[in-house]
Amino acid sequence: MLHPWMGLWGEECDPHDLRIPLASQLIRLLSTDGGGVAEIRGARRSEQAEVLVLDVRTGRPQRPAYPLDRTEPIAILFPQEGAAPIVLALRADFPDTPHQNWVPEHIPAYLCVDDRPWVEARLTYTAGGLLYRILNWFKLAGMGELHEAGARLIVSDIDAAKTARVEKATGAKVVQGDAIFSADADIFSPCALGGIINDKTIPKLKVQIVAGGANNQLLEERHGDELQRRGILYAPDYVANAGGVINVYGEVVGWDAQRALDKADDIYDTILKVFDIAEANKIPTYEAADRLAEQRLAEAK
């Protein structure tokens, strides 16, 4: 069964009527050289974007690491010329796997087939490259090898069901309660409660970096000073987790999804700028973030 989103988005059209260059290139490629790996199933379009629907051969092994079908329906959404394509798995019960981007519940699973910054990738992007990355994603998912970078996770949560799901999907190590603070790791990523960086927890940390999605991670500003004193690099929370605010603002002013995603990609460069300011002025990163924010507010007036 296809995800209901497919029937609600845009209007059905002939695939050969798609006009966005990358979509047209992919159609020509599949029409001539796509036999055995993917077949065109249909297309849809709206005023802002176009969608090509494919049945993709996953190349899964006999006993796949995740419950993939031998053929999976996908939608490739081309937001506009010059914007990154978005690959969605259309099976309504598509499994949770690594390398999926967060989307609201009413949107199909969003596969992260290319983790390069779009400003870099688009310079050499081709239809063949896109098809290769989609096929490779399914191949690695079937073998349970999507974590090519070799990252190992240590996780903790008050909800045991959530940690069990992450453990199954990623091979993460689950620890209980306060044990997470003393975990021997590279990065500590607070993603729930605020005030988590405080007098009790800082002495336990054995990491080089604190970077996470939670708000108000420092109980007090002096705890940012203490992280700096201990040589722990802190990514200021309201910079690192700005994606949510960017998305809300985009909805208010009418951005399409791709523009919001492109703006969220800029968080990387903003964080680096914060680090540069902190290093140049010999100040903690939380203070550098405040200075940058104040500068941008002044420039906007």
Amino acid 150: pLDDT: 61
Please check whether residue 278 is in contact with residue 287, taking contact to mean a CB–CB distance below 8 angstroms.
Answer: yes
Amino acid 50: pLDDT: 94
Helix (H, G, I), strand (E, B) or coil at 121: helix
Q: Which residues of the chain have pLDDT under 50?
A: none
Amino acid 34: pLDDT: 62
Residue 133's closest CA among 48, 218, 26, 207?
26
Look-up of token digits 């708000």: 215
Residue type, position 241, single letter = N
Helix (H, G, I), strand (E, B) or coil at 76: strand
Amino acid 270: pLDDT: 92
Amino acid 262: pLDDT: 79
Amino acid 276: pLDDT: 93
DSSP 8-state symbol, 94: P
Task: Give one DSSP letter per residue of 156-194, joined into a string.
Answer: --S-HHHHHHHHHHH-PEE--GGGGGG---SEE---S-S
- 134-172 pLDDT, tens digit each: 999 999 888 887 765 567 889 999 999 888 888 887 788
Amino acid 148: pLDDT: 53
Helix or strand holding residue 218 (H, E): none
What does the block give as tokens for 81?
A: 């010329």
DSSP 8-state symbol, 268: H
- Domain 184-300, CATH number (from 3.40.50.720, 3.40.1710.10, 3.50.50.60, 3.40.190.10): 3.40.50.720
- 24-36 pLDDT, tens digit each: 999 999 988 666 7
Q: How many CA atoms lie within 13 A of 87 on its CB side?
A: 23
Amino acid 268: pLDDT: 87
What is d(CA 172, CA 177) in angstroms, rounded to the nearest whole number?
16
Domain residues of the chain, as ranges?
5-143, 184-300
What is d(CA 301, CA 296) in angstroms, rounded to the nearest whole number?
9
Residue 204's closest CA among 226, 178, 174?
178
Please check whether residue 124 is in contact with residue 79, taking contact to mean a CB–CB distance below 8 angstroms.
Answer: no
The count of other CB atoms within 10 Å of the CB of residue 212 is 19
Amino acid 81: pLDDT: 66
User: Domain 5-143 is of which CATH architecture?
Assistant: Roll (3.10)
Please check whether residue 258 is in contact with residue 86, taking contact to mean a CB–CB distance below 8 angstroms.
Answer: yes
Amino acid 288: pLDDT: 96
Amino acid 35: pLDDT: 64
What does the block give as tokens for 7?
A: 């029937």
